[in-house]
Amino acid sequence: MTTPPPLGDRLKGMLEPAQIMKWAMSHYIRVCAEAVFKKGEIFAPILQIDRLRDEAFGRFWVEFSTPAPNATPAPAEPEPVLETDPETETETFQPGQNTNGSSDLIPPLLRTANGIVLDIGPGTGTQMPLLRSPSISTIYGPEPCTGLHEKLRARAIAEGISSKYHILASGAAASQLLPALRDSGTGVTEAYDSDPRSGIFDTIICVRVLCSVPEMERTVDELYGLLKPGGKLLVTEHVVNAWRTAKGSFLARVVQGVYQVFGWSFFIGDCALDRDTEGVLLRAARSDGGWEVVDLERSFAWSVMPYLSGTLVKKSSI
C-alpha cells in the first residue's frame, strides 16, 4: 500500500504524462521531417503513418529507457520525473528516474519467474537483470517494435542470458505469437500443438505492456490459454483510475481522459491510460471457474497512473 503525497505533489504529478507525451511527440515530428526532407518521401506522413510511428516510438523508448547521467541504473523500465534544480530552483525533466515508485513493485515479482518464460513486450530489456535465475530454463521475448531489437539483443548478451533468450518479432496476440514461436526452431509448441490444454509457459510476464496490446481482452484470454496448468501470470500494469472507490481520484480519472483525447495513445506506442486491466485479467479464467490464486494489489490509486501488481495462478487441474 502507498500513502498519498501532499495535494501539491499530486497535482504536479498529473502533469508528468504531458512531459512524456511532448518528448515522444518530438521524436515523431523529427521522423516525419526526415522522411520528407532527407529521404524525399513526401507523402510518407500520410501514407506510411504506422511505419513512422514505429520508428519514432523506437527512438523515443531507447532514449526514455536510458538512465540519466550519474543516475543509479534502475532494475526495470524507468519512468521520467520532474526534479528541481537546486541552483535555479526550476523544474527539469529527467529521463531514467522513477516517477512514483512503481519500479519498486517489479523486482520481487519477477524473482518468482521460473521454467519456460514469456516476457511480453520486453522493450530494450531493462528488466533482464531480474531474469537471470537458474530456475528459468528459457525466455521468449515477443517485441513488435523491431527498432528495439538491437538494444534488446545487446542487453541479453550483457546479462549473460543470450543463449536462452529468444527475441520474437511478434505481438502478444496468438495469431502472431504462435507462428513466431514455431519459427524459433526450439520446439516449444510441440506439446501444445498436440494438446492445447497442456499450455506452453510456466510463467508469463506482463510489465507495462497490457496498456498497449490491441484487443486486450482477446489477447489476455489467449495468454491464459498458453499458460500451463499451475502456471502463473506476473503483472505490473498501470490501469484506469478507480475513481468510484474511496482511494481513487475523480480528477485523476478526468485527466486520464484528457490525455487520451490529445493523442497519448498515438504517440506512446498505442498505450492507453484508461484500461480496466484487472477486470480483463479476472475474466480470462472464467471458463475454468476462475484462477486458483489471485494475489493483486493496487498502488498509487490517487494518480493518473495507478498500478495493479501481483500474481495470478492457473488451476493445476482443469
pLDDT tens-digit series, residues 190-220: 999 999 999 999 999 999 999 999 899 999 9
Confidence of residue 82 (pLDDT cuts 50, 70, 90): very low
Last residue of a domain, one of 94, 124, 145: 94
User: Average model confidence (pLDDT) for the chain?
Assistant: 87
Q: Which helix (H) or strand (E) holds 82?
A: strand 81-84
Instruction: Please give the Cα distance from 153 to 304 (Å, whole number).
Output: 33
In the predicted model, what is the mean pLDDT of residues 19-29?
95
Write down which residue in 70, 94, 118 finishes a domain: 94
Whole-number pLDDT of residue 71: 45
Same domain, 275 and 303: yes
Confidence of residue 68 (pLDDT cuts 50, 70, 90): low
Same domain for 68 and 195? no
The C-alpha atoms of residue 299 and residue 301 are separated, in whole angstroms, by 5
Note whether residue 2 is domain-resident: no
Residue-wise pLDDT for 233-248, tens only, equals: 999 999 999 999 988 9
pTM of this prediction exceeds 0.85: no
**Whether residue 236 is found in the same domain as residue 262:** yes
| Separation CA 102–CA 47 (nearest Å) | 38
